Amino acid sequence: MKNSVFFDLDGTLTDPKIGIARSIQYALEMLDLEAPALDDLNWCIGPPLLQSLEILVGEKRAAQALIYYRERFADVGWHENTPYAGISVTLSNLFDAGLPLYVATSKPLIYAQKIIEHFGMDQFFRRVFGSELDGTRTDKAELLQYALQEINSDAGSIMIGDREHDVFGALSNHMRMIGVSYGFGSLEELTDAGAVEIVSQHEELLPLLL
């Protein structure tokens, strides 16, 4: 049986910057706070959102900020999103080779599924794994542990992602980790977290996986 391959969503399959950053700006404005510029919110893309909001507005106001964020994101933010150029070709090649492909994202499952379906990538993935709206499985290690149990995967599964959270989650579950530096995590972030294999464009995944 071929090894299962898990892809992160934000920063790995799609560029979600506009939708996430504008929804964060909206949340802060609703709290009468000055919102940072779009480019100053790149660090919020990838980690569990509530943690980022706690840094931005403080723990006491983070839950309300999340409500405002989702108010906009559920309406327009989720489709202010762009698949990386050529990603469907890469996925198609992996799919045609018979690799079992999955999505593993800290984003709530309800949004992740909509995004994957909206861009026609659902044809390549056997299942999408995401967090729950109540915060369950926002931690990547917990999410991957759950996913591996759900698919009854043996040793040898692979995680592909752009942030340190993907690396930590993969290594804690004894998975092979391949970092992608074209997303929102720097090469330094990935290597410091323990990633050894890193690609600068998704096409470079093909010789590593096939």
Residues with a known catalytic role: 8
CA proximity to 15, closest of 119, 131, 123, 170: 119
Contact residues for 163 (Cβ-Cβ < 8 A; gap 6+): 8, 11, 46, 47, 183, 184, 185, 189, 190
Q: Pairing between strand 14-15 and 158-161?
A: unpaired
Q: Measured between alpha carbons, how far is 16 from 135 in angstroms, rounded to an integer?
A: 20
Q: And the tokens for 13?
A: 């399959």
Angle at 136 between CA 2 and CA 160, to 5 degrees: 30
